[in-house]
Chains A and B, each alone.
Chain A
Amino acid sequence: MMAETAKEEKKLKFGLFLGCNIPFSRPDVEVSMRSIFPALGVELDDLLGQSCCPTWGTMPSIDVVGWCAVAARNLALGEEKGIDLITACNSCYGSLNEARHKMLTNPEIHRKVNEILATIGKKYEGKAKCRHVAWVIYKDIGLEKLKESLKYTLDGITVAVQPGCHFLWPSEIYPDREKDPFNPVVLREICEAMGAEAPHYSKLIECCGMGALRSTDPEKSFILVREKMENIKEEIDADLIVTTCSSCLIQLDDAQERLRKEGKLNFSIPVMHLVQVIALCMGFDPEKVAGICVTPRDEIIKRILENKR
């Protein structure tokens, strides 16, 4: 609703919601967002004073109203300015929109949240929502404009897409939805628009095993990484994994190196967040927009930078 109004008026504007993974663990993703959106004509507000969304292992595990209250304070930072939030982290996308859905469908929760917010002089009406970077690129900016903005393309590169769980489910709580959340096409189409081959593979929608699963039982978590990596290698022999989730990014990048060290994997596929790939293709400094990784990226970055448009 709010995004549409903004589009009609003139310029797209969003509150840049960072979360925790991105600013502290993968700040090159933050630089990518801060680089590509202004270049695509989207204004970003810093949303000063934002906090953790709150992520699943914190308030959602303690208390529904407490979860919604922390989320509502973050959403209110955008609502006060008449803008939606934008995130590159699927967990933030899930937790914020899930909390919003609870407040909009349960007046009792919404009332209690606003009672709490009143004690800090704030309120949340339910207008501002959290948008996902991939959806804003796909729907609000459009693939044509994206293509025009590129200096380099992904021609000749095969990409394995990893949308991640909180890009898809539960579909009813999200502001933007795939036609079939069990056969997602948005990330594939974005990568294809940039010149890549982005074929389907059997385990495309499988979980990466990050988050609570990894912190509870790393060995079980790495089973999922290994199966996904092997499937990507066997079925499409991808040159690059592109994800829309900061957790999938960290997990697939980091855990495949662990599996190699343990002798459980004998190949390597670089992993990048979608916004990093776009930033590289727009010609931004690779050290700044894609400089932090465990699995080496040098070769794929070199290949991309040879693909002058």
Chain B
Amino acid sequence: MEMMEEGVPPVINLSKLAEREETELEKKVAEIIKELGAERIMYCMQCGACASICPLAKTGFEWYNKKLIKALIVGLRDELLDDPTPWACVACNRCTEVCPRRVSPFEVMFAMRRLMAEEYAIGSLAIEGLRALYEYGHAVYMTGREARKKVGLPEKPPSTESDPKALEDLRKILKQTKLADLGLIPME
């Protein structure tokens, strides 16, 4: 019994947190999120339009768009780093379409991913996708050779797979991005 209670995560009371005085750290979180691409996060008025049509909210993920935005505005950060919700976002952009304040909650979700990546709170599947992108030029890289042969196509598509110079160009691009700064994958 005691074991089970220990396993229950503490409830994060966002309403209580919202009453706190703004600290330096809190200011910083929203600023970081803005810099990472969600420029209009502070325009959110918590109307909930985004949550009403979000596939993540619907299927029961903890920190769906509206709630994540509130948490970031009140300055939460470390408490969110272990949560998988941003990495489950399908980028469907229903939220962007309906947001009356043009916040683009999708951008907040992805800015959160970028923040998490900076903190190395990034799952092995995402790392694998990035590695495959660098290695082959294709993130979703399956052993499709047999299937291609079966339907009468050349083994390799006319992509970076068939064009070593293009793959070299792509790698050169990737080496100039934050992917290289963070050292998330081996780059030669």
**A308 vs B60: C-alpha distance when bound (angstroms):** 48
**A47 vs B153: C-alpha distance when bound (angstroms):** 16
Interface residues in B37-95 by Cβ distance below 8 A to A read 37, 55-56, 58-61, 84, 87-94
- Nearest B residue to A207 by beta-carbon distance? B55
**A206 vs B166: C-alpha distance when bound (angstroms):** 37
Given contacts A59-B133, A212-B87, contact A23 B148 (CB under 8 A): yes
At the interface, yes or no: A11 with Cβ under 8 Å from chain B?
Answer: no
At the interface, yes or no: A60 with Cβ under 8 Å from chain B?
Answer: yes
Which of B8-16, B18-26, B175-183 participates in binding chain A? Answer: B175-183
Chain A nearest Cβ from B31, distance in angstroms: 16
Count, chain B residues at interface, CB 8 A: 66
- Nearest A residue to B172 by beta-carbon distance? A120
- Nearest A residue to B56 by beta-carbon distance? A213
Which B residues touch A63, using CB under 8 A?
114, 177-179
Count, chain A residues at interface, CB 8 A: 67
Given contacts A58-B129, A170-B97, A207-B90, contact A119 B163 (CB under 8 A): no
**A196 vs B55: C-alpha distance when bound (angstroms):** 29
- Nearest B residue to A288 by beta-carbon distance? B151
At the interface, yes or no: A287 with Cβ under 8 Å from chain B?
Answer: yes
B110 & A60 in contact (Cβ 8 Å cutoff): yes
Contact of B179 among A18, A59, A94 (CB under 8 A): A59
Can you list 9 contacts pairing A with B, beta carbon distance less than 8 Å? A21-B140, A28-B151, A49-B158, A50-B159, A59-B174, A61-B113, A66-B173, A169-B94, A220-B59
Show the binding face of A for B, using Cβ within 8 Å: 18, 20-21, 23-28, 30-31, 46-52, 54-66, 69-70, 73, 94, 116-117, 119-120, 122, 165-166, 168-171, 181-182, 206-207, 209-213, 215-217, 220-221, 223-224, 287-289, 291-292
Sorted from nearest, which 10 A-B pairs have the closest CB atoms? A49-B166, A66-B177, A24-B144, A165-B92, A63-B178, A20-B140, A51-B137, A216-B88, A23-B157, A170-B96
